[in-house]
Amino acid sequence: MIEEGSKRGKAMVEKRQLFMEMRAQNFDVIRLSTYRTACKLRFVQKRCNLHLVDVWNMIEAFRDNGLNTLDHNAEINVSRLETILSSIYYQLNKRLPTTHQINVEQSIGLLLNFMVATYDSEGHGKLTVFSMKAMLATMCGGKIVDKLRYVFSQISDSSGVMVFAKFDQFLREVLKLPTAVFEGPSFGYTEHSVRTCFPQQKKILLNTFLDVLMADPPPQCLVWLPLMHRLANVENVFHPVECSYCRSESMMGFRYRCQQCHGYQLCQSCFWRGHANGPHSNQHQMKEHSSWKSPAKKLSHAISKSLGCVPIGEPPHPVFPEQAERPQELTHTVQPKPVANNMNDTMLMSSGAPTPTKSVLESPSRLDEEHRLIARYAARLAAEAGNSTQQCPPTDLSFNFDANKQQRQLIAELENKNREILQEIQRLRLEHEQASQPTPEKAQQNPTLLAELRLLRHRKDELERRMSALQESRRELMVQLEGLMRLLKDEEQKQSQSGGSPHSSPSHGAGCSMPMPIRSTSAGSTPTHTPQDCLAGVGGDVLEAFAQGVPRNLRNDLLVAADSITNTMSSLVKELHSVDDGAEEEETNMRNGGDRGTVRAQKH
């Protein structure tokens, strides 16, 4: 009971931890609800490390966990939700550099508690598949246009037309996020939310859907969504301008310039808190700036714009083909290599670590530049079509319609070609990485080295067994030699007592060597008083000398035999060490060749 109570208390503390940290940031001093909501959700996104997970990685995680085969209204329990979040974060750590690894368990706990508090307020312990997809696809990192394309694939039918009932369901789920951060009165769901986004009942295709949700301003109920992405893009933007209120010599983030007071500019902190001084008033219209342009750059931009080199109005998103977006699949779209947002890229660059993008062609700035080029070319075609329309009679409207249709087709062809090029670049890069990396299977493709290594191991084992046998024989011989020396000493004492002289035999020369003794069968045998018993298994010279009954002076012969045994042992030890050195050198060569795993396997 005590353990259960402690677990419940710990769960309650973890559930409240994120909200307590958010309150400590004092976001409630921001006077505008839009900025307040965006800042709170951005804090939750960064605290749970969701800003590091690209939307394409999130879609891939949905597929890996089988969510694309489930109905939107199907329910999953909290334990399976935790498993899905674990797979997302562990895959994220594999993509991040080792110096920027995240705490997976902490991130899982914070996000799981936030999702349960947001979508399971009644405590059923279950969430619907659609609510989980809507929340994770909205709060993860990546471009807003990619997120909205995925959302459209979930709320459209097989013909690529948006289903109003599914869009209403999406608004119900996504608007629970502002409610979770205590901004429900400003951005809570109402029955009229769908009609505020699409006031007229008509056929909504992908480009129309993107035009409405990415417009300036967007629908009132979702105005916080693009602002949250703009916050992520300007967190590290520097403005070398002095704030007119706090007198800070530089600004980070947004910069606000008054349209009535000349030269009056505020940093984002002062503007969000409603600070004003001098002739300026909070009722004045302020323009938001997300970048800094020097006066010289402004002048060159104005000249280029006046000369027609810069398009007057760029579309908020690229124009996509009118074919139906496949629900839950998106297989025809190009999934670029997941990259972190600008804040993460700046952090990696400042630390000297390699950024996730390996090719300039795959960077977001490169893709944006391609979209701008396509939009500029489309604008030029539209201008040429407009000039030709003015020269034609007013009744010729079919030509203008055909020209617009051709422009759409040309843009679609260009984008399809761009996708094919990016796919080919990604495929070639993966093939190059796979070919350059050594694999453990290569160790099994060289049977000659493996056979030599196996032979060396076998030879080493044989020498070790032979050495142990010789050591045992040497020990037995030393015991026998000690017994023989004792017998000889006793015999000499008897001879001296009887007054006789020992009958010596010619001793062998120093250069002669005695025959190798034969190993005795009994390892623990000790010499007895009988010469024949103690000489069992000893060489021929000693046996012959004692067999005749006349003892020989064999002291020198026994010492020579001991030296011979010692020399034999030394040579065996040297040979064993040479085999060991050869095996170690062979292992070193195989390690340098990329066969480390196989050598270790052979060792075990």
Among 66, 93, 100, 98, which Cα is nearest to 80's? 66
Those residues whose C-beta lies under 8 Å from the C-beta of residue 134, and which sit 6 or more positions away, are 151, 154, 170, 173, 174
The predicted model scores a pTM of 0.52
Q: Are 147 and 55 in contact (CB under 8 A)?
A: yes
Question: Which value, in Å, is the radius of gyration of the alpha carbons in the chain?
Answer: 43
Cα three-residue angle 89-167-181, rounded to 5 degrees:
50
Mapped onto helix, strand or coil, the DSSP state of residue 167 is helix
Q: What is the C-alpha to C-alpha distance for residues 217 and 57, in angstroms, rounded to an integer?
A: 29
pLDDT for residue 356: 43
- Give the pLDDT confidence of 265-313 residue by residue, as tens digits: 999 999 999 998 988 988 899 999 988 775 555 555 555 555 555 455 5
Q: What six digits make up the tokens of 377? A: 């070319």
Q: What is the dihedral of CA 417, 327, 134, 149, to 10 degrees?
A: 30
- AA identity, residue 11: A
Helix (H) or strand (E) holding 256: strand 255-258
Unique residue bearing structure tokens 């020198």: 556
pLDDT for residue 529: 41
pLDDT for residue 114: 94
Residue 245 CA: distances (Å) to CA of 30, 123, 264, 275, 280: 16, 48, 9, 7, 10
Unique residue bearing structure tokens 């530049």: 369
pLDDT for residue 491: 81
Instruction: For residue 327, say if its preceding peptide bond is cis, omega within 30 degrees of 0.
Output: no
- AA identity, residue 359: S
- AA identity, residue 21: E
Q: What is the mean pLDDT of each run of 10 residues along the chain (604 residues)?
A: 51 75 92 94 95 95 93 94 95 93 94 93 90 96 94 93 93 95 90 84 88 90 94 90 89 91 91 90 90 62 55 62 53 46 40 40 52 70 61 48 75 86 87 69 66 84 86 83 83 74 43 42 41 46 47 60 73 71 61 49 45
pLDDT for residue 444: 56
Q: What six digits make up the tokens of 251? A: 């600004």
Those residues whose C-beta lies under 8 Å from the C-beta of residue 125, and which sit 6 or more positions away, are 77, 78
Unique residue bearing structure tokens 């986004």: 197
Q: What is the DSSP letter of 251?
A: E
Strand-pair category, 126-128 with 75-77 = antiparallel
Q: What is the C-alpha to C-alpha distance for residues 375 and 514, in angstroms, rounded to an integer?
A: 102
Q: What is the C-alpha to C-alpha distance for residues 154 and 162, in angstroms, rounded to an integer?
A: 9
pLDDT for residue 35: 94
Secondary structure string (H, E, C) spanning 209-227: HHHHHCCCCCCHHHCHHHH
Secondary structure string (H, E, C) spanning 315-338: CCCCCCCCCCCCCCCCCCCCCCCC
pLDDT for residue 498: 72
Q: What six digits make up the tokens of 554? A: 């064999």
Q: Are 80 and 168 in contact (CB under 8 A)?
A: no
Q: What is the C-alpha to C-alpha distance for residues 537 and 543, in angstroms, rounded to an integer?
A: 9
Q: What is the C-alpha to C-alpha distance for residues 151 and 133, in angstroms, rounded to an integer?
A: 9
Those residues whose C-beta lies under 8 Å from the C-beta of residue 76, and which sit 6 or more positions away, are 70, 84, 126, 127, 128, 129, 132
- AA identity, residue 278: G
User: For the range 214-218, what are the long-range contacts, defined as Cβ-Cβ under 8 Å and sequence gap of 24 or more?
Assistant: 214/144, 214/145, 214/148, 214/316, 214/317, 215/316, 216/316
- Give the pLDDT confidence of 489-525 residue by residue, as tens digits: 888 788 777 765 444 444 444 343 444 444 444 344 4
Q: What is the C-alpha to C-alpha distance for residues 239 and 241, in angstroms, rounded to an integer?
A: 5
Q: What is the C-alpha to C-alpha distance for residues 40 and 18, in angstroms, rounded to an integer?
A: 11
Q: What is the C-alpha to C-alpha distance for residues 500 and 198, in angstroms, rounded to an integer?
A: 136
Q: What is the DSSP letter of 246?
A: T
Q: What six digits make up the tokens of 450? A: 């493996």
Cα three-residue angle 220-222-227, rounded to 5 degrees:
105
pLDDT for residue 504: 44
Unique residue bearing structure tokens 């142990």: 468
Q: What is the C-alpha to C-alpha distance for residues 251 and 72, in angstroms, rounded to an integer?
A: 45
First vs last C-alpha separation in the chain: 48
Q: Are 102 and 52 in contact (CB under 8 A)?
A: yes
- Please, is 576 exposed, middle or buried when counting C-beta atoms within 10 Å of its C-beta (0-12, 13-18, 19+)? middle
DSSP β-bridge partners for residue 265: 257
Helix (H) or strand (E) holding 127: strand 126-128
Q: What is the DSSP letter of 342?
A: H
Q: Are 243 and 256 in contact (CB under 8 A)?
A: no
Q: What is the C-alpha to C-alpha distance for residues 347 and 360, in angstroms, rounded to an integer?
A: 18
pLDDT for residue 546: 46
Q: What is the C-alpha to C-alpha distance for residues 179 and 202, in angstroms, rounded to an integer?
A: 30
